[in-house]
Amino acid sequence: MFKRPFLSYFVCLLLAAAPAAARDAPEPYVVQGGIELTRLLPPPPAPDTPAGKADLDAVLATQRARSAAEAASAQADAEATVFRFADVLGDGFAADRLPLTARLFGRLTKSIGPVVNPAKEHWHRARPFVASSAVEPLSRPDGDTYPSGHGTLARLYAIVLADLLPGRRDAIFARADRFAWNRVVNGVHYPTDVTAGAIAGTLIAQRLQADAAFRADFTAAQRELREAGIH
């Protein structure tokens, strides 16, 4: 059994470490003015409508056509990180080499939940593999599907990354489109989920321009990328 002085010392160490850990964890940015996606997006198509059936047919057609390489890519892109874009930006685009860039995009990743989650809960659209047993997903994430969180991140990543690296804009947006579409390949989103996510990501990117913390982190990441020779 620990003696009291040792236990007190141990508790003090834990309390001292907690604020530092909290400071190191990236916090979401403040999306100025709020974004009510339930007012700005159309509702997802109902399953028994022509649009809803076309959405499911697109998932099934993509499933039939996916190759082993496409399946592997879709599974890898399930990771919600901008560093999946290294395949078009080079091996130097890595979190351990770019801590300030990692911080910027880590905060961006955390910033979509307060915007997207209320819309998901409002529409409560079931994922394709829940709606139809014919869908064979590569993974089975929980939660609702409209709008797509990955679709939101893909467009948000693309806009901010292209502003950081304007010379790579075409490649970045093409990679973002593939990142988002891989959720359909995976069998966990419909095409309309991805389209709605792109709208949500664009709105978030626009609103974040008013956030001083975002602008400061953006400037720091821009300098870091330039010093790393990534442009």
DSSP letters of 45-108? PPTTSHHHHHHHHHHHHHHHH--HHHHHHHHHTTS--GGGGHHHH-TT--TTT-HHHHHHHHHH
Can you give the pLDDT at residue 15?
43
Q: Nearest 5°: phi and psi at 139?
A: -150, 170
At what angle are helices 212-227 and 149-164 packed, to 10 degrees? 60
Contact 84, 95 (CB under 8 A): no
* C-alpha span between 201 and 204 (Å, rounded): 5
| Identity of the amino acid at 136 | E
Contact 171, 88 (CB under 8 A): yes
Report the first-to-last Cα separation within the chain, whole angstroms.
58
Can you give the pLDDT at residue 32?
73
Per-residue pLDDT of the chain (231 residues; tens, 9 = 90+): 444 444 444 444 444 444 444 445 679 998 877 899 999 999 999 999 999 999 999 999 999 999 999 999 999 999 999 999 999 999 999 999 999 999 999 999 999 999 999 999 999 999 999 999 999 999 999 999 999 999 999 999 999 999 999 999 999 999 999 999 999 999 999 999 999 999 999 999 999 999 999 999 999 999 999 999 999
79-112 pLDDT per residue, tens: 999 999 999 999 999 999 999 999 999 999 999 9
Q: What is the CA angle 114-117-123, rounded to 5? A: 145
Residue whose structure tokens are 């399953």: 47
Q: Is the peptide bond before 50 cis (omega within 30 degrees of 0)?
A: no
Can you give the pLDDT at residue 3?
47
Domains and CATH numbers, the chain: 29-227 (1.20.144.10)
Can you give the pLDDT at residue 25?
64
Q: What is the CA angle 112-113-119, rounded to 5? A: 100
